[in-house]
Amino acid sequence: MKPPATLVALLHGPDQPGIVAKTAGWIFARHGNILHADQHRDMEAGEFFQRIEWVPAGADAAQEAADLHTFAATLGMAARVAVSPHRAKGVIFVSKEDHCFHDLALRWKAGEFAGDFACVISNHPDLGDVARHYGLAFHHVPVTLATKAAAEAQQLDILRATGTEFVVLARYMQVLSEDFLKKAGQPVINIHHSFLPAFAGGKPYHQAHERGVKLIGATAHYVTAVLDDGPIIQQDVVRVTHRHSVEDLVRKGRDLEKLVLAQALRWHLDNRVLVYGNKTVVFD
């Protein structure tokens, strides 16, 4: 038997008494059934955040979502609402490093994500056969300093043609321009191979080794126009010692990168991440 459609709302706005009761009451008055509810208050900012998932009583989930937006506005809250049967479609950007790409593709084939990949875009041709083996269309779009604007225009055309709603940078070793991000108009999730804000930019494992750190990490974050500075979704670390070489750090880091990126994408597709300013609230 097909499970009923559910709605997931992410709300945030100035804190005030009775928000939880009002949102629950609104759903109850419409004969909906709440499945999960979680909330958080930023004590310093006085900001309230809520994630609530429910089964609407009516058959028209889209109308229920529209009505929720109207209701949230009366509370001074911004809202984003997702309908459970919808599977967001995204694209993977990758260069030559393939560990995150393989991990994402295998998890997708195993049904771990509440979304799908439409295609792969790469600035190198190396992973074309592998991508097609996974059943993913592959687009080779070379990028040089002289051709960057034209390459990004071609990438945007692919995004529009495939109807994507998110982008994952699986060790894509190119910096996306501010113009690309604005025109794409969709979340871009990147995996950076360090525990940001430490060691931003290129060769972070080399930087970490030179600094003699005892922990290395990986960070999944939303991409902004400022390099490696977007809202952080997930991070993890592993311990290292003076005995580990740069190659050891790279090897250990690859395992972290795969896990951190997969978890961040899973949370994003499950509508558990609420961005405000340059921070995130990630609901359980």
Among residues 81, 80, 77, 37, which one has the least CA distance to residue 62? 81
| SS3 state of residue 134 | coil
| SS3 state of residue 59 | coil
Instruction: Please answer whether residues 195 and 219 qualify as being in contact, where contact means their C-beta atoms are separated by less than 8 angstroms.
Output: yes
Instruction: Please answer whether residues 124 and 174 qualify as being in contact, where contact means their C-beta atoms are separated by less than 8 angstroms.
Output: no
* Residue 210 host element (H or E): helix 204-211
Residue of 228, 236, 248, 255 marked active site: 228
Whether 270 is catalytic: no
β partners of residue 235: 219
Sequence-ordered strand ranges (E) for the chain: 7-14, 33-42, 47-55, 78-83, 88-94, 115-122, 137-140, 166-169, 188-192, 215-222, 232-239, 273-276, 279-282
**Among all residues, which ones are annotated catalytic?**
228
